[in-house]
Structure 1
Amino acid sequence: MTDGPDMAERPTIVLLHGGPGADHTLFKPELSAAAGFAQVIYLDQRGSGRSVRSGPLQWTWERWADDAIDFCDALEIERPVLVGTSSGGWVALLAAIRHPDRFAGLVLDSVMPGDTYERLEMFERLGGPEAREVALRYWAGDTGDEMTDAWERICLPLYSQQPGGDDVADGNRLRRVRWNDEVLDHFRMVLAREFDPWRGLDQVACRTMILAGEHDPVATASAARRFAHRLSHTDVRLHVLAKAGHGVFREAPKRSMDLLRDFVVSGHVPRLH
């Protein structure tokens, strides 16, 4: 970026979307503001959005994590801040575990899943006994059209705590997303059981910021607090935002952007030329 008559180096942020099976447009317009203090790079993960669809054999946490490294190598991005939201945060975390020397920082938004009883209690608190029952059956593997409809109608709206839901700030957000429902189904039936987000945390070496919504029904605030405690061997910041649900960057854009700016800028060390 410009600095008077000179050009000044600035940090790079690589963004990993959630879904899974969604795409990078979930970050827009909120994360576009980060271009004011960093170079912002979006990645549609393998199988999602505008990237190659491939197939289930390539839809693995390890492949996605290593894809993030290959992506940075291809673009010659050195030590970026890796930002992951929801399932994209699982990918970011695994990338930091498998490649601990590659990142200047790690930002995890709405990432750590709560224990089953915590998630069911939160769904019941937010949506009553019906929401709890639908969530229980959905997570148990009920794949019927009736259950899918009930999940989308009763439980998904509870992810957001904003009036009008996730589309309130930008009514075209969800219509822009190029979904691959097969990836989402693969996550639900296979990948969600395969990934242990608590394993290997001692390998995380970079500065880490954890963002959580106090009313997130899936990545619960209590799980985020346990996560921060487990990362106490490194520089870790935990922020639990009141009145926020799942996806803090969308739920509380101004506050989360302020936190991101402070985290990224305070840790940036310009390269010596």
Structure 2
Amino acid sequence: MQVSIGDQPIFFDVIGAKLAPDGPQMREKPTLIVMHGGPGFDHSGLRQDFDGFADIAQVLYIDHRGNGRSVPSDPATWTLAQWGDDVRSFCDALGIHKPIVFGQSFGGMVAQSYATRHPDHPRALILSSTAARMDFDASLALFRVKGGDEAFAIAERMWGSGSDEEFDTYMRVCMPLYNTTVREGGEHARARAITRREVYRHFSLPGREIRRMDFRAALNKILSPTLILAGANDPITPPHLAEEMASCMMPGLASLRTFENCGHGAFRDDPASVLQTIRDFIARV
């Protein structure tokens, strides 16, 4: 399905009903908006883990503008400010009030943009394996620990120019180092995903927005209960960046959970523990 935000089509999919029969009444479930990482990927890789929340929430997946099926798109609009505003505009277009917003990796950066620009709008936030700012030096050092000099050099080249050849090599050598386990069916999930490498290059190469991104001073604008999830073995958004996000928010608002023996997207390595943590948080808010 698609909805238009101005002249931008936004693809979304819905799992589960908003209203559930409950004795003599219809019980309203919260809306959980699930936002993918990248940029340059789509929502499909999250379906395996988040479809299951349809028993307690109406689950909506979106592809950010320029990503996945949310095309065509003007590259001039590929900014965190616009992606954050898109979340609010998407909700306005569909009549969604007080959503719980989950953002994985880049999706968590979009969630921070949304929540700092529209602090009264979300019911709650779940920030998974993301950061207020990147620490590329720390990530390169972790790639060297995990994959030796080869992984270090491949990551350095990928983040320096991101050619198609470098992208393919990075996906083959470095991507398996993101996590501590190998998921059954992972090759099919990668094959299903729509990749938009031009969005990655636009956002992530030297001089681009991810190199300047820094939400630390703005995080105290967030008013919603926030669950921050980190993997202790995440080379892309190491746990010290999750601790930093929590420390920048208003006291008592953020709950930080760091999962041992987990990498980027801790729910991929320890789904039982992490998904239950999310489920408990949704029940509380």
Pick the aligned partner of 1:92 from 111, 127, 134. Answer: 111
Tell me by how many angstroms 1:197 deviates.
Answer: 3.0
Tell me by how many angstroms 1:131 deviates.
Answer: 1.6
Q: Do residues 120 (structure 1) and 163 (structure 2) align?
A: no
Q: Do residues 186 (structure 1) and 205 (structure 2) align?
A: no
SS of residue paired to 1:82: strand
Alignment match, 1:59: 78
SS of residue paired to 1:261: helix
Q: Do residues 176 (structure 1) and 192 (structure 2) align?
A: yes
Pick the aligned partner of 2:242 from 213, 218, 224. Answer: 224
When the two structures are superposed, what TM-score results if normalisation uses the length of structure 2? 0.86
Q: Do residues 68 (structure 1) and 84 (structure 2) align?
A: no
Amino acid at match of 1:128: G
Gaps of 5+ in 2: 1-19
Higher strand share: 2
1:98-154 CA deviation, whole Å, 9 max, x = no partner? 000001101001001552332122112211222223223332x13455543432232
SS of residue paired to 1:40: strand
SS of residue paired to 2:156: helix
Tell me by how many angstroms 1:266 deviates.
Answer: 0.7
Alignment match, 2:228: 210
Q: Do residues 200 (structure 1) and 232 (structure 2) align?
A: no
- Number of residue pairs aligned between Structure 1 and Structure 2: 263
Pick the aligned partner of 2:149 from 124, 129, 132. Answer: 129
Question: CA distance change for structure 1 residues 130 and 170 in 2, over 3 Å: closer, same or farther?
Answer: closer
Amino acid at match of 1:155: C
Pick the aligned partner of 1:41 from 57, 60, 63. Answer: 60
> Does the Cα contact within 8 Å between 1:162 and 1:168 map onto a contact in 2?
no
Q: Which moved more, 1:61-70 or 1:167-176?
A: 167-176
Identity of aligned residues (%): 38
Q: For 2:272 and 2:55, how far apart are their aligned partners in 1?
A: 14
Q: Do residues 237 (structure 1) and 271 (structure 2) align?
A: no
SS of residue paired to 1:29: helix
SS of residue paired to 1:200: helix
SS of residue paired to 2:103: strand
When the two structures are superposed, what TM-score results if normalisation uses the length of structure 1? 0.90
Amino acid at match of 2:158: Y
Gaps of 5+ in 1: 268-273
Tell me by how many angstroms 1:205 deviates.
Answer: 1.0
Q: Which moved more, 1:235-244 or 1:248-257?
A: 248-257
Question: CA distance change for structure 1 residues 16 and 144 in 2, over 3 Å: closer, same or farther?
Answer: closer
Question: CA distance change for structure 1 residues 199 and 53 in 2, over 3 Å: closer, same or farther?
Answer: farther
Pick the aligned partner of 2:171 from 132, 139, 152. Answer: 152
SS of residue paired to 2:216: coil
Q: For 2:188 and 2:143, how far apart are their aligned partners in 1?
A: 26
